[in-house]
């Protein structure tokens, strides 16, 4: 495992367990370099992953502020209807499963370097026979070592929980709207330029290893997102 992932996992665990308190500042980059006996690039990559996963907020000229991460939503609370193969009227078509050399964006999202290969899975989720989601998964092959067209029908987080007995810790989602490309419009049966809902997901195991990065492009008329928030009581 790359050194920056080791550093990321150690800091993330300390933040989750409260060893590093919320609303405090992480040690500076030089202090972390000295504390962990590592280089500047390693520290910066680890801090970038912590910021991406919502553990810290980097503030220019000040450092890295530790955020509140207690009671992060569990992955099953975030699972959307179109992702679940057993949902009523839902059908999954797996188009390809292969190992690829990741691009910069994919490598960064998994915390990899471009030298490491990753699984790339392409699917279409249909509801009542109509395409609802064009989904691409990038999965860490050191966690999911064997993957075929049949096992790729279900999300990787479900596979590792049900088949490998690993605990999924949390998932972060980013939802945006943009005009569909010609390929997306064709795949989702949209008019050219019609809006598509893009959901990017970063899913990690309980031990903070990044499991998968998913880009799902939803038909706007078939997209539904449900969230649940609870206010934390003070004192």
pLDDT at 119: 95
Per-residue b or e along 113-144, where b marks 16 or more CB atoms closer than 10 Å to that residue's CB? eeeeebbbbebbbbbeeebbbbbbbbbbeebb
Q: Are residues 205 and 109 in the same domain?
A: yes
Cα torsion 27, 110, 101, 94 to 10°: value is: 180
Q: Are residues 119 and 200 in the same domain?
A: yes
User: Residue 118 sits in which domain range?
Assistant: 75-218
Q: What is the pLDDT of residues 84-98, one digit of tens each?
A: 444 557 888 999 999
Q: Are residues 39 and 117 in the same domain?
A: no
| Phi, psi for 133 (deg, rounded to 5) | -140, 130
Measured at the CA of 138, the angle between CA 135 and CA 141, to 5 degrees, comes to 140
Assign residue 126 the CATH number of its domain. Answer: 3.40.1410.10
Q: Are residues 97 and 186 in the same domain?
A: yes
All residue ranges of the chain with pLDDT < 70 are 1, 69-88, 113-114, 226-235
Q: What is the pLDDT of residues 110-129, one digit of tens each?
A: 777 667 889 999 999 998 88
Look at residue 230 and tell me if it is in a domain. Answer: no
Q: Are residues 44 and 131 in the same domain?
A: no
DSSP state of 19: S
Label the pairing between strands 90-100 and 130-139. unpaired
Distance CA(234)–CA(81), nearest Å, equals 34
pTM: 0.67
Look at residue 171 and tell me if it is in a domain. Answer: yes
pLDDT at 173: 84
Distance CA(156)–CA(20), nearest Å, equals 30
Look at residue 173 and tell me if it is in a domain. Answer: yes
Q: Are residues 170 and 84 in the same domain?
A: yes
Q: Are residues 154 and 48 in the same domain?
A: no
Look at residue 231 and tell me if it is in a domain. Answer: no
Q: Are residues 143 and 211 in the same domain?
A: yes
pLDDT at 154: 83
Concatenating the DSSP letter of every residue in 98-145 gives: EEE---HHHHHHHT--TTS-EEEEEEEEEETTEEEEEEEEEE-TTTS-
- Domain-ending residue, one of 66, 91, 108: 66
Look at residue 226 and tell me if it is in a domain. Answer: no
Number of domains in the chain: 2
């Amino acid at each position: 495992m790359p050194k920056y992932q080791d550093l990321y996992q150690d800091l993330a665990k300390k933040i989750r367990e409260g060893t590093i308190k919320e609303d405090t500042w992480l040690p500076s980059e030089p202090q972390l370099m000295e504390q962990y006996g590592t280089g500047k690039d390693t520290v910066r990559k680890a801090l970038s992953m912590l910021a991406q996963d919502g553990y810290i907020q980097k503030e220019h000229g000040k450092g890295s502020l530790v955020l509140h991460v207690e009671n992060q939503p569990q992955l099953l609370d975030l699972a959307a209807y179109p992702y679940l193969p057993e949902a009523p009227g839902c059908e999954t078509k797996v188009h390809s499963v292969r190992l690829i050399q990741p691009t910069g964006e994919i490598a960064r999202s998994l915390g990899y370097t471009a030298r490491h290969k990753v699984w790339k899975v392409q699917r279409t989720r249909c509801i009542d026979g109509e395409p609802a989601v064009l989904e691409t998964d990038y999965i860490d092959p050191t966690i999911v070592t064997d993957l075929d067209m049949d096992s790729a029908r279900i999300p990787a987080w479900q596979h590792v929980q049900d088949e490998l007995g690993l605990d999924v810790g949390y998932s972060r989602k980013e939802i945006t709207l943009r005009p569909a490309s010609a390929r997306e419009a064709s795949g989702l049966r949209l008019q050219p330029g019609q809006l598509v809902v893009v959901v990017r997901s970063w899913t990690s195991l309980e031990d903070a290893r990044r499991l998968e990065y998913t880009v799902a492009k939803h038909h706007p008329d078939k997209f539904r997102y449900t969230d649940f928030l609870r206010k934390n009581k003070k004192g």
